[in-house]
Amino acid sequence: MSEQAQPAANSPESVHGWRPATGELTGEGFSLWVAERIAAAEAAIATLSAVQGRRTISNTLAPYDQAVEQLSLAGSQAGVLNSVASDRSVRNQAQVEAQRVAQVATALSLNRTVYDALSAIDPDELAAASEPTRHYLQRTLLGYRLAGVDKDEATRQQLVQLQEQAMRLSLEFSRNIQEGGKTIRVESASELEGLPEDFLARHTPNCEGQFELTTDQPEMQPVMTFAHSHALRERMFLAYNTRCYPRNRQVLLDLLATRQQIATLLEFRSWADLATADQMMGSAANVREFLARLEAASREGSEREFALVSDFARRRDPGVRLDAASRGYWYEQYRRTAYAFDSQSVRPYFPYAQVEQGVLATAEKLFGVEFRRAAATGWHPDVSVWEVFDGGLLKGRFYLDMHPREGKDKWFSAAPVVTGVRGRALPEAALICNFPGGEPAGRERDPGLMQYSDVVTYFHEFGHLMHAILGGHTEWAGLSGFATEGDFIEVPSQMLEEFFRDASLLQSFARHYLSGEVLPTETIEAMKRAGAFGRADWMRTQLYYTTLSLDLHDSDAASLDPDAMTRQLFEAFQPWSWIDGNRMYASFGHLTGYSSNYYTYVYDKVIALDFFAQFEATNLLGCDAATRYRKLVIEQGGSRRGRQMVRDFLGRDEDFEAFRSWLNEEFA
């Protein structure tokens, strides 16, 4: 089937759990749609199982992949709607459907008949097949073995029950975070001193003269960065870090115990060893060795940074408390003095609409594609739908759901919506974010002034999206989009973060929302120098999160105290004083998705910086590296091992020096 014919195969009726023409979405309608996808998957497995005689790629791997496609479709959209649907009944139904899809997927992963059939594919035919096909089969069979398919029937049934329990607990943990926002009260306007003017303009006192602030990102982040009042920052810090406590404490302990049971049945020492067995890293021991290397590389720089900031803070305020609620504020104050850079000063140059336009334009040039606004409707009126064209051919669609609303997930992420398969279905993906702006019609529009870090986050998530779209034209659904090893998945997104340090790229869209003035070059240079200061502190924070996720899954769940562990690790990696009452683990959402493998972010940062070093500094978007990067990495989806893609692009394994140079870039 030609690519021009693909849209018919990707018909809205078959691939969307809502009505694209109207955006209509009901729990009952979505449940029926999921049931159709599950039935299609089961029919494909029945076809595979009924084969008599010689096993081939077409009669065995192909129907297996069709089942994978249908389950991916249903599971992806159940996950998305569980995160974004405004109607709580729809969110509840989406969660039920996510569990139902997971049950079917777990049963498939332990289906010995299917495993035996895949194992029996004619080796001569397989030897002549494409490299992605061989890779897909090898990875699939490894996944079956890691799931426990070779265990006896009683053990397999126990694993099914435990996997279902783990999924239920993971969804409960995530839902509590999603719906667990808090509100804090501000008694006096004096506590708001230091906050940006646009922030203050959006907040007026109630009839009792009090201000109310939420723990949503557009309100939490400015408070922690700019508010002069330590008392306000501390209240916000504790509200943000107790959003899901105590509810999620026991949920997490139950989840960790369940995962440990699974690992034990599969004869692994811990969940951390099981979770890394099919990753680039290979084992929890290898992760610890890598983290030790990062710890050594960041220790001296972190000590130097803290000495400078703490000395500065004490000169300004001899009685200052340098605790966890002080970190963002005092780094901001130090940068203003040491680098003559006030991060508030650039906010007017980054209104949301201009940033969106700048991100889209930059991505178009980098990847050689064109984005067009589509007439289709998403799951909410706030969602915009875009189509991606390459040489006049439609390559996929994406959805931008970019601002907070009640009941919506509070974080920033990219998610697959439709699994792309060459000749069968166009890929679709979504960004689910919580940036400023997006006020409803009828109210005075908030320009949505963003901090520079928000701009970088936007392009980070857009990297995931382009990976899903351009990598969504593989020959197998199981290799589509970002179906790579989990510890390679952050490479494309982290590599794109570096692009918006380039002055010419920023100036292509960074204009003052009132005057139209272009962001001055000298401001950008000051911003870059100021931004380099604090990287060691950032790395120590990442080591804290990473070690926490690893230790939680590499310890005996029965005797685990997450409160004590969280404090112990904070004090091991952070120079800032601990604040009693901090329960961050209860809202650490990555514990469900990445589980023990949060190390992915720091590991992939090393690879991403080496990748970025291959681009021409004066021609980032048009150099040969841009073309090679798209072809050798992005377009591959999951068709090659992450290690092989690194070698294809670099001609070698990643080098630590690009990361070391970035971490210790001169900031004096």
pLDDT of residue 176: 96
Look up the CATH number of the domain holding residue 517.
1.10.1370.40
227: pLDDT strictly greater than 60:
yes
State the CB neighbour count (10 A cutoff) for residue 501. 17
Q: What's the half-sphere exposure (Cβ side, CA atoms, 13 Å) at 541?
A: 11
Query: Among candidates 80, 85, 78, which has minimal Cα distance to 25?
Result: 85
Say yes or no: 124 and 18 in one domain: yes
- Is residue 240 scored above 90 in pLDDT? yes
**pLDDT confidence bin for 24, thresholds 50/70/90:** confident
What pLDDT was estimated at residue 207? 86
Whether residue 119 sits in one domain with residue 194 = no
99 in a domain, yes or no? yes
Residue that terminates a domain, selected from 195, 215, 240: 240
Q: How many domains does the chain have?
A: 3
Separation CA 204–CA 226 (nearest Å): 18
Say if residue 136 is in the same domain as residue 192: no
For residue 521, the tally of other CB atoms under 10 A from its CB is 12
Cβ-proximal residues to 407 (8 Å cutoff; 6+ apart), any chain: 85, 86, 88, 91, 178, 179
Q: What is the rounded end-to-end Cα distance, in angstroms, of the chain? A: 59
Residues 105 and 209 in one domain: no
Average pLDDT (501-527) is: 96
Radius of gyration of the chain measured on its C-alpha atoms = 25
- Segment 392-401 shows an average pLDDT of 97
Q: Which residues touch 426 (CB under 8 Å, ≥6 apart)?
A: 6, 7, 9, 10, 394, 395, 396, 397, 418, 420, 472
Structure confidence at residue 53 (pLDDT): 94
Q: What is the pLDDT of residue 7?
A: 32
CA distance 388 to 56: 35
Strand-pair partners of 212: 185
In terms of phi and psi (left: phi > 0; alpha: psi -120 to 50; beta: otherwise), the region of 637 is left
CA pseudo-torsion sign 440, 444, 447, 451: negative
79 found inside a domain: yes
Which structure tokens are listed for 323? 């605790």
Is the alpha carbon torsion for 228, 230, 234, 235 positive or negative? negative
pLDDT tens digits, 168-197: 999 999 999 999 999 999 999 999 999 999
pLDDT value of position 12: 55
Query: What per-residue confidence (pLDDT) applies to 6?
Result: 34
The reply to whether 125 and 58 lie within a common domain is yes
Whether residue 271 is contained in a domain is answered as no
- What CATH number does residue 14 fall under? 1.20.1050.40
Assign 651 to helix, strand or coil: coil
Is pLDDT of 8 > 60? no
Query: What residues pair up with 577 in beta bridges, in sequence order?
Result: 323
User: Which among 287, 305, 142, 146 is positioned nearest to 602, based on CA atoms?
Assistant: 287
pLDDT tens figures, 285-302? 999 999 999 999 999 999
| % of the chain surpassing 70 pLDDT | 96
Residue 14 has pLDDT above 50, yes or no: yes
- Same domain? 67 vs 207: no
Pair 222, 196: CB distance under 8 Å:
yes
**Whole-number pLDDT of residue 243:** 96
Instruction: Name the one residue in this structure whose structure tokens are 């003035």.
Output: 517
- Give the amino acid at 121: I
How many helices and strands (H and E) does the chain possess?
28, 7
Helix or strand holding residue 430 (H, E): strand 428-432
Give the span between the Cα atoms of 235 and 614, in whole angstroms: 45
Average pLDDT, stretch 65-76?
97
Looking at residue 440, its pLDDT comes to 53
Confidence band (pLDDT; 50, 70, 90) for 13?
low
User: Could you tell me if 246 and 452 are in contact, meaning their C-beta atoms sit under 8 angstroms apart?
Assistant: no
Confidence label for 237 from pLDDT (cuts 50, 70 and 90): very high
In a domain, 155, yes or no: no
**pLDDT at position 11:** 57
Predicted confidence (pLDDT) per residue in 345-369, tens digit: 999 999 999 999 999 999 999 999 9
Q: pLDDT category, 9, cuts 50, 70, 90?
A: very low
Same domain? For 92 and 190 the reply is no
Residue 22 has pLDDT above 90, yes or no: no
Q: Which of 215, 240, 265 represents a domain boundary (last residue)?
A: 240
Residues 120, 31 share a domain: yes
Q: To 5 degrees, how large is the angle CA 89–CA 90–CA 93?
A: 85
pLDDT digit string (tens) for 470-502? 999 999 999 999 999 999 999 999 999 999 889
Does 298 map to a domain? no
DSSP characters over 357-401: HHHHHHHHHHHT-EEEE-S---SSTT-EEEEEEETTEEEEEEEEE
Query: How far from 340 is each of 104, 309, 456, 667, CA to CA, in Å?
Result: 58, 15, 21, 13
Q: Containing domain of residue 87, as a range?
A: 3-109+111-147
Q: Are residues 97 and 218 in the same domain?
A: no
pLDDT score at 666: 63
Place of tokens 């329960």: 583
Q: Is pLDDT at 643 greater than 50 in this prediction?
A: yes
Do the domain assignments include residue 9? Answer: yes
Residues 494 and 623 in one domain: yes
Residue 265 lies in a domain: no
What would the pLDDT profile of 29-41 be if each residue is shown by its tens digit? Answer: 999 999 999 999 9
Task: Name the DSSP class of 421.
Answer: B
Residues 6+ apart with CB under 8 A from 97: 30, 31, 34, 74, 78
List pLDDT tens digits, range 533-578. Answer: 999 999 999 999 999 999 999 999 999 999 999 999 999 999 999 9
391 assigned to some structural domain: yes
Q: How far apart are CA 44 and CA 62, in angstroms?
A: 9
Asked whether the beta carbons of 602 and 288 are under 8 A apart, the reply is no
Query: Distance (Å, rounded) from C-alpha 161 to C-alpha 164?
Result: 5
Residue 667 has what pLDDT?
47
Residue with tokens 């390459």: 390
Q: For all residues of the chain together, what is the average pLDDT?
A: 94
pLDDT of residue 3: 34
Q: How far apart are CA 26 and CA 72, in angstroms?
A: 20
Please indicate, yes or no, whether residues 393 and 445 belong to a single structural domain of this protein: yes
Give the Å distances, CA to CA, from 323 to 224, 231, 375: 12, 12, 50
Structure tokens belonging to residue 163: 């996997």
Which regions of 292-361 does DSSP assign to beta strands (E)?
A: none
Cα 43 to chain center, whole Å?
33
Residue 10 has pLDDT above 70, yes or no: no
**Which of 191, 214, 240 corresponds to the end of one domain?**
240
Note whether 88 and 225 are same-domain residues.
Answer: no
The pLDDT value recorded for residue 377 is: 85
